[in-house]
Amino acid sequence: MKAIWLLVCLAWFSPAFGAGGGALAFPSNLQQQQVLAVVVLFSLPDCAYCEKVRQQSLRHIHTDPDYKGRVVVYEIDFSDSQRRFTWFDGNSYTGKALAGPLNVKFSPTVMVFSAKGAVAGKPLLGASLPEFYGAYLDELIKAAWAM
């Protein structure tokens, strides 16, 4: 049993595990969202742990019946100083310009926002075991719905 658990842990923390698939959608205008919660993955290029979070916790949200039409998921490279998007406040930002005000310093960081842009709870930092990560993410989404 210990050997199986060790293999599962090694696979989870291996950079090659779950690789592929590319980035999630990039936001153009968050001020015009028609959903109750917005999930944002703040990532860095070539971040293996970002890929784990993308594949195991975020890609399925748009097909989950509990979330469909109520949650949207985006990804922002917080080192990017070129691509611009409109934030909830109507101002234009790059990922790098927004990282400071949101205190994003670690990759991956997942934050959940209400439809008006209020932060729903504490950000999720790093990649955790999927069972726990999914539960924490679900709590944040429900908190955003209640705002």
55, burial (CB in 10 Å: exposed 0-12, middle 13-18, buried 19+): middle
- The structural architecture, per CATH, of the domain 24-145 is 3-Layer(aba) Sandwich (3.40)
Task: Write the pLDDT tens digit of every residue in 71-121.
Answer: 999 999 999 999 999 999 999 999 999 999 999 999 999 999 999 999 999
Length of the chain: 147
- Single-letter amino acid, residue 109: T
Q: Is pLDDT at 55 greater than 60 in this prediction? A: yes
Domain boundaries, the chain: 24-145
Residue 92: φ, ψ to 5°: -95, 135
Q: What is the DSSP string of the chain?
A: -HHHHHHHHHHHH-TTTT--S---PPPSBGGG--SSEEEEEEE-TT-HHHHHHIIIIITTGGG-TTTTTTEEEEEEETT-SS-EEE-TTS-EEEHHHHHHHHT--SSSEEEEEETT--B-SSPEES---HHHHHHHHHHHHHHHHT-
Most confident option among 6-15, 44-53, 120-129: 44-53
Model confidence pTM above 0.95: no
Please give the Cα distance from 115 to 88 (Å, whole number).
8
Please give the Cα distance from 99 to 103 (Å, whole number).
6
Residue 110: how many other CB atoms lie within 10 Å: 25
Please give the Cα distance from 106 to 104 (Å, whole number).
6
